[in-house]
Amino acid sequence: MTNSILDKPQVGDLVMNWDGEMGIISLIETDKYMCPYFVLWFGGVLQGYTTAHKLREIKAWTINVRLNT
């Protein structure tokens, strides 16, 4: 997993949303999308799904992971 504490989130970074569901950043599209970060979920209700998110959400979720580990 890439360490993104000081940089922008990278592919492979672990995220945990507010409901405690875990996922990894699987793709970053910076060209045309409003929500360029794609997360592949491997736990919780979203398990097996990929969802798109904005940078502010991803930053909050990666902080959540660092505080809980």
What is the per-residue pLDDT across 10-67, written as a single tens digit (0 to 9) for each?
899 999 988 889 999 999 997 867 889 999 999 888 999 999 999 999 988 887 666 6
State the Cα–Cα distance between residues 14 and 25, nearest whole angstrom: 7
Closest CA to 8 of 62, 65, 64, 68: 62
Residue 62 has a pLDDT of: 82
Whole-angstrom Cα distance, residue 19 to residue 8?
Answer: 23
